Structure 1
Amino acid sequence: MKKVFLKDIAKKLNVSKTAVSLVLNNKGDENKISQETQKKIIDYAKKHNYVPNQLARGLSRGKSETIGLIIPNISDSFYSKIAGYVELKAKSLGYTVLFSSSSEDPKKESELIRSMLNRQVEGLIIASTQRNLKEIESLKEDKFPFVLIDRHYPESETNYVIVDNYNGSKTVTEHLLKLGRQKIGFITLKPGLEAIRQRMLGYENALKDFDIEFKKELIKELSPVNYEDEIKLAVSELIKFPNSVDSIVFSTHYLTSVGLRELKRFNVKVPQEVAIVSFDELSAFDLVDPPITSVIQPVKDISNIAVEILINEIEGMKESIDNTRILDSKLEIRKSCGTF
């Protein structure tokens, strides 16, 4: 839909731009603009998804000192931690945060972006579905401050803070290889997110560096929607006697959690029969028996740096900080790998 500007509304309704601006800034009554005219302006603006110009809005209303955070799923432990740290950091810098979840739906993500703009946020932090390039490019064109976290669009120059998914996955796979594990399964999501693709590539190249043959049948790609149903078959195929894997890399913490349940159901001994490693972790991973070797992402750093980049840009200081950051993860070695 073509973007509608204040001047377009004024021209269409045959009223002054000043009148439109006053009405859309809730100053129609105090400036004695008729209720009929106010209703026409508001109805037209809503119908055509009018988004106020950020600079003009700032001049007329002052700063809102509010930023928006759009994440895929607030119930996911990774993103709930992100939300908590973003809120704390923003508060320390004098800003409040509006939270929303996209549910991995690009249409909903687009609606949330427009809604956030209409609610007068001064900037956005977005963990995108990576299926919304058009919306992201629109924010760029409007010079609206935003930072992408966890996921970004490699084909578009934007502010972003992400983790080095490739090296994190490569390191954890190499750890298994150094222990003598050579038949390593990889349970992941179907390609779509750049982070998942990088984790797959890290796994593949670790095998290559150790002269281990890459076998497609050892990779199980699950639907992001139905992974809990599909993982039972994936695990059963990887541990099928006599060609069972000797280890499994799970590309996300929630796949690890469900995979552990299935391994227990099949009475697989970890790590004696199959070693387990996870990219990212749940707080329980160091409490289960055995504790799970995990790639730990720097959640606090991701959050703090994203807020700093965003607020620096909002306040016109974007030259003072690197606006694209790729952070290292940490390999936390626990007993789920054992020795071999």
Structure 2
Amino acid sequence: MKKLYLKDIAKNLNVSKTAVSLVLNNKGDENKISKETQERIIAYVKKYNYVPNQLARGLSRGKSETIGLIIPNISDTFYAQIAGFVEARAMEMGYTVVFSSSYEKPEKESKLIQSMLNRQVDGLIISSTQKNEKDILRLQENDFPFVLIDRHYPNLDTNYVIVDNFGGIYHATKHLLDLGRKKIGFVTIKSDLDAMQQRLLGYIKALDDHGVEQDGRFVSELDQKTYVTDMAEMIRAITTPEKRVDALLFSTHYLAREGLRALNELNIQIPDEVAIASFSEMSAFDLVNPPITAVIQPVQKIGDLAVDILVDEMKGDHMIKTKDKRIVLDTNFKIRKSCGA
């Protein structure tokens, strides 16, 4: 038998999902829902043995003035900065923020969503593993306010705030090509995340637009769990005389950090032998010698917009479907001496 959702009950009885939810949570009288409507809803759910899904049981019905933030790793500088800006913006608007890290584990993300709901948060900001479509759909089914940041589900109509990953890497690759660097290595993580795929596509497109044939040997995909130990071997392999790159473009700041460490250990001179650029940056990138060229993500804007959209959703009338807010932010490109110009 097909699973019954709130929207199904609402559609079949010609009432709103909000009315169904209130009645099932014994709040029909206080919200002035007629006795007749309440009786119809109760009779219907009894007839079809409706059982609220696990996610829905924890959905917030009151106001806690609290926002839940779920990110991959709070110790990562990028997400730590986002968390700081989310918290600051939320405080300005009268909300506190509860933080948790999923560590890129879908099952942990799912548990964190349920835990946040059990804590009666008013809304959620999620940087998802992109492997948790089921829970995202359940949030939608129950009209629970949420915004996705940094990552989103391309096949789902949700609110999100992301950056132009394709354009950011395209710009960085073009800059290296314009400087005469033709053998550009691209170092990334093995990942199904749309953001990482877009960065790889941006690199490939820039090469193609400049008439440079892509050499598969110059693309290195490292394992998320072993990239620290694997980096030196990879750098050594692509800087041999027969396969020597003249530039390295890292898809994330933490890969760039380990790449710099390996290059220094191998006594490879930057930028004379190999130019360096990174998508995203760490605070030390402008302090090392030479300072590192980087694609800069508008971290504060991501945090501010996510909170603004979420608060608007939380204050809105969810009996009326509001237009989804899908925002793609431009990146900035900071040229430093690691590219030689």
Q: TM-score range by the shorter chain?
A: 0.7 to 0.9
Partner amino acid for 2:200?
A: M
Q: 1:176 maps to which residue?
A: 176
Tell me, in whole angstroms, the C-alpha distance in 2 between the residues paired with 1:81 and 1:122.
22
Q: 2:232 maps to which residue?
A: 232
Tell me, in whole angstroms, the C-alpha distance in 2 between the residues paired with 1:273 and 1:185.
13
Q: 2:190 maps to which residue?
A: 190
Unmatched runs of 5 consecutive residues or more in structure 2? 7-21, 28-50
Q: 2:302 maps to which residue?
A: 302
Change (3 A) 1:50 1:201: closer
The aligned length equals 298
Is residue 2:297 matched to residue 1:291? no
Is the 1:294–1:332 contact (alpha carbons within 8 Å) kept by the matching residues of 2? yes
Tell me, in whole angstroms, the C-alpha distance in 1 between the residues paired with 2:180 and 2:308.
43
Change (3 A) 1:219 1:65: same
Tell me, in whole angstroms, the C-alpha distance in 2 between the residues paired with 1:299 and 1:186.
24
What TM-score comes out, normalization by structure 2 length?
A: 0.83
Tell me, in whole angstroms, the C-alpha distance in 1 between the residues paired with 2:279 and 2:55.
40
What TM-score comes out, normalization by structure 1 length?
A: 0.83
Change (3 A) 1:65 1:117: same
Q: 1:282 maps to which residue?
A: 282
Q: 1:334 maps to which residue?
A: 336
Unmatched runs of 5 consecutive residues or more in structure 1? 6-16, 23-44
Q: 2:79 maps to which residue?
A: 79
How far the C-alpha of 1:243 sits from its partner, in A, is 2.8
Is the 1:309–1:321 contact (alpha carbons within 8 Å) kept by the matching residues of 2? no
1:23-34 paired onto structure 2 within 5 Å: none
Tell me, in whole angstroms, the C-alpha distance in 1 between the residues paired with 2:339 and 2:269.
11
Matched position secondary structure for 2:277: strand
Q: 1:149 maps to which residue?
A: 149
Is residue 2:71 matched to residue 1:51? no
1:244-255 paired onto structure 2 within 5 Å: 244-255=244-255
Tell me, in whole angstroms, the C-alpha distance in 2 between the residues paired with 1:4 and 1:182.
56
Tell me, in whole angstroms, the C-alpha distance in 1 between the residues paired with 2:55 and 2:206.
49
CA offsets per residue over residues 165-185 of structure 1, 9 Å max, x none? 000000000000000000000
Q: 1:42 maps to which residue?
A: none
Is the 1:271–1:338 contact (alpha carbons within 8 Å) kept by the matching residues of 2? yes
Change (3 A) 1:317 1:311: farther
Tell me, in whole angstroms, the C-alpha distance in 2 between the residues paired with 1:4 and 1:170.
43
Partner amino acid for 2:228?
A: E
Is the 1:187–1:234 contact (alpha carbons within 8 Å) kept by the matching residues of 2? no
Matched position secondary structure for 2:112: helix
CA offsets per residue over residues 311-339 of structure 1, 9 Å max, x none? 00000079998711000000000000005
Is residue 2:66 matched to residue 1:66? yes
CA offsets per residue over residues 259-296 of structure 1, 9 Å max, x none? 00000111100000000000000000000000000000
Is residue 2:199 matched to residue 1:199? yes
CA RMSD of aligned residues (A): 2.5
Q: 1:103 maps to which residue?
A: 103
Change (3 A) 1:321 1:271: farther
Tell me, in whole angstroms, the C-alpha distance in 2 between the residues paired with 1:3 and 1:116.
24
